[in-house]
């Protein structure tokens, strides 16, 4: 099992205060905190072997290239990709999905084709498809949310698949409801209809073991900053044969093999998609984050988080006028550590402000999932706490106190 006390010591920020109170960081779905090993690995690069990659033939340039490639191999292994040729570094999940829509989408989606996404998508897995549909004259369809269960409506999925969409893009974990979607089964159903499958792994890769071969998805996108790594680096995984058929969307240095005045040939994978100087420091830091996660074990992380989430959901369900959005604790296997909630009719921003005064960082708003929050949940904003490996049950006690304070200030029964 996990030694959370010792894990907490690895995160310098967790011993700081916010508004004079010990920081209780519960906004991990937005971005996670970073352990000292990640911060140090980045600093070590800048201090001792800062050089550009794939260019210099001197010692520190070779060292930088080697560390960058090591990071990619680490990522490939982490999600069980066939090799680092299938790992494209981007800025974040958003850029990874846009890369698919702009490159694969532009070439393969024609007028009248169907693109299938779901009602629980983050804007990052919605807007790129809206733009593509508008550009190419395609039709954007949605798998409905089963509101009584906060799961995707599988009947609706099957109905939409009858239209033989060219691509199905779905989140593995909802950043609002915490619902874990069975992407393996969705992928199997979608492939039967000849669709490609993109999985948005922004909220899953940090919290559970990922096996892209077993899911059998064609694309998988995620961000380093939500999994203990630095901002500014994300991943697009895609099956090798698909990447080979795709064109780059950004041209420049490093992504070419040969160039003459009027044409060029592409570099081999994965470099074909990484034009210009890469985000070397953050790639190296990302590698350190994966080392850290591997040391604890993704299975352990997943079960620890499910334990604390179940406890929190049970406690919250006993409080009058606290409403939870998402599957209940008796469905914990289908739920991640994201808990969106409301207290009476108090605005989510007021809740977050009271929490802030108690040193607790949570997020309030539509969480970049406006169609879900506004149309399906009928809310303009919801408050959201989200757990990670360093959160404890005793931190959750401060949440219960903050809820009492909200109720008192806003006179909620
Ligand atoms: N959600 C949240 O607070 P980026 O920003 O590109 O690293 O990740 C985008 C993204 C894509 N898909 C899902 C399911 C997400 O949750 C996110 C990021 C954060 O919920 C910031 S809006």
Ligand 1 interacting residues, C-beta cut-off 6 A: 29-30, 92-94, 122, 124-125, 171, 175, 200, 202-203, 223, 234, 363, 367-368
Which one of the listed residues 368, 370, 400, 412 is annotated catalytic?
A: 368
Q: Is the pLDDT of residue 226 over 90?
A: yes
The predicted-structure confidence for 66-106, as pLDDT tens digits, reads as follows 999 999 999 999 999 999 999 999 999 999 999 999 999 99
Whether the predicted pLDDT of 2 surpasses 90: yes
Please state the three-class secondary structure of the chain as a single string: CCCHHHHHHCCHHHHCEECCEECEECECCCCCCCCHHHHHHHHHHHHHCCCCCCCCCCHHHHHHHHHHHHHHHHHHHHCCCCCHHHEEEECCHHHHHHHHHHHHHHHHCCCCCEEEEECCCCHHHCHHHHHHHHHHCCEEEEECEECCCCEECHHHHHHHHCCCCCEEEEECECCCCCEECCHHHHHHHHHHCCCEEEEECCCCCCCCCCCHHHHCCCEEEEEHHHCCCCCCCEEEEECHHHHHHCCCCCCCCCCEEEECCCCEEECCCCHHHCCCCCCHHHHHHHHHHHHHHHHHCHHHHHHHHHHHHHHHHHHHHCCCCEEEECCCHHHHHHECCEEEEEECCCCHHHHHHHHHHCCEECEEECCCCHHHHHHHCCCCCEEEEECCCCCCHHHHHHHHHHHHHHHHHCCCC
- Give 124 Cα–ligand 1 centroid separation in angstroms: 7
**pLDDT-based confidence at 62, cuts 50/70/90?**
very high
Distance 54 CA to ligand 1 centre (A): 31
Binned at pLDDT 50, 70 and 90, residue 405 comes out as very high
pLDDT digits (tens, 9 = 90+) for 250-306: 999 999 999 999 999 999 999 999 999 999 999 999 999 999 999 999 999 999 999
> Is 217 labeled as catalytic in the residue annotation?
no
Work out whether strand 24-25 and strand 360-361 pair parallel, antiparallel, or are unpaired.
parallel
Average pLDDT of the chain is 98
Question: pLDDT tens, 355-371?
Answer: 999 999 999 999 999 99
For the chain, domains (ranges, CATH) are 4-26+297-409 (3.90.1150.10), 40-294 (3.40.640.10)
pLDDT for 56 beyond 90: no
For residue 202, report the distance from its CA to the centre of ligand 1, in Å.
Answer: 6
Tell me, what's the pLDDT at 55?
84
Please tell me the pTM assigned to this model: 0.98
Model confidence over 296-339: pLDDT tens digits? 999 999 999 999 999 999 999 999 999 999 999 999 999 999 99
Q: What is the pLDDT of residues 237-264, one digit of tens each?
A: 999 999 999 999 999 999 999 999 999 9
Please calculate the CA angle 74-279-9 and round it to the nearest 5 degrees.
60
């Amino acid at each position: 099992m996990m030694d959370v006390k010792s894990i907490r010591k690895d995160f310098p920020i967790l011993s700081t205060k916010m508004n004079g109170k010990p920081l209780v960081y519960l906004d991990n779905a937005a971005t996670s905190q970073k352990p000292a090993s990640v911060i140090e690995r980045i600093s070590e690069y800048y201090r001792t072997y800062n050089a550009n990659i794939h260019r210099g033939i001197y010692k520190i340039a070779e060292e930088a290239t080697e560390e960058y490639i090591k990071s990619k191999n680490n990522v490939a292994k982490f999600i069980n990709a066939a090799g680092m040729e299938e790992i494209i570094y981007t800025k974040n999940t958003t850029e990874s999905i846009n890369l698919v829509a702009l490159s694969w989408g532009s070439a393969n989606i024609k007028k009248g084709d169907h693109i299938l996404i779901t009602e629980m998508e983050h804007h990052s897995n919605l807007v790129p498809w809206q733009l593509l549909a508008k550009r190419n004259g395609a039709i954007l369809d949605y798998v409905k949310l089963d509101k009584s269960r906060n799961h995707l409506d599988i009947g609706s999925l099957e109905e939409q698949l009858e239209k033989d969409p060219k691509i199905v893009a779905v989140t593995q974990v909802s950043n609002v409801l915490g619902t874990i979607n069975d992407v393996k089964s969705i992928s199997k159903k979608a492939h039967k209809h000849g669709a490609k499958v993109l999985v948005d792994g922004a909220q899953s890769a940090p919290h559970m073991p990922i096996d892209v071969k077993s899911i059998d998805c064609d694309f998988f996108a995620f961000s380093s900053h939500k999994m203990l790594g630095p901002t500014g680096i994300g991943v697009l995984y895609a099956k090798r044969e698909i990447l080979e058929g795709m064109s780059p969307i950004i041209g420049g240095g490093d992504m070419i093999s040969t160039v003459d005045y009027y044409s060029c040939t592409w570099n081999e994978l994965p470099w074909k998609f990484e034009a210009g100087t890469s985000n070397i420091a953050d790639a190296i830091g990302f590698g350190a984050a994966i080392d850290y996660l591997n040391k604890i074990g993704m299975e352990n992380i997943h079960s620890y988080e499910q334990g604390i989430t179940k406890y929190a959901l049970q406690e919250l369900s006993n409080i009058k006028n606290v409403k939870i959005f998402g599957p209940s604790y008796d469905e914990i296997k289908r739920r991640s550590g994201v808990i969106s909630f409301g207290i009476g009719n108090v605005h989510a921003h007021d809740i977050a402000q009271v929490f802030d005064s108690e040193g607790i960082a949570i997020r309030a708003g539509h969480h970049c999932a406006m169609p879900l929050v506004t149309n399906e949940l009928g809310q303009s904003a919801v408050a959201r706490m989200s757990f990670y490996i360093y959160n404890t049950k005793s931190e959750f006690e401060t949440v219960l106190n903050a809820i009492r304070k909200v109720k008192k200030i806003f006179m909620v029964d």
